Homo-oligomer: A and B are copies of this chain.
Amino acid sequence: MLDRLGDRWTVLVLVELSKGTRRFRELERAIPGISQRMLTLTTKRLCRDGLVERTVYPTTPPQTDYRLTPMGKSLGGMVSALADWSRDHRDAITAARERWDDSDL
């Protein structure tokens, strides 16, 4: 199951959805670099795992809402905390890398 978290896009989608309900296109724009294909695959897997719920409104043009289930929210919280951590420590890690690259090769 950690395998699923070992997926870049899954983490990013969870982070975005933990901020609130999103439509397909909103997710696509909120996650730079994701392809349409990967977004559908990722959301589908999350639905299958019972972490995300999909609501389809048969309007024209069609609209689809994605939101976290209770289980998804509990996971989303932890993943968001991880995202915050990585933001807070980015500089420290960059510095560590430069130190390493200098001393080594």
Binding site for B on A (CB under 8 A): 1-3, 5-8, 11-12, 47-51, 71, 74-75, 78-79, 81-83, 85-87, 89-90, 92-93, 95-97, 99-101
Q: Would you call B50 and A96 a contact (CB within 8 A)?
A: yes
Residues in B whose Cβ lies below 8 Å from that of A71? 89, 92-93
In the complex, A51 Cα to B94 Cα: how many Å?
12
Q: For the complex formed by this chain, how many copies does it contain in all?
A: 2
Q: Is the interface of A mostly helix, strand, loop or mixed?
A: helix
Instruction: Choose among B7, B51, B78, B101 the residue that contacts A81 (Cβ–Cβ < 8 A).
Output: B78
Q: Would you call B48 and A2 a contact (CB within 8 A)?
A: no
Given contacts A6-B6, A50-B100, 7 further A-B contacts (CB under 8 A): A1-B86, A1-B87, A5-B6, A5-B11, A49-B93, A50-B99, A75-B85
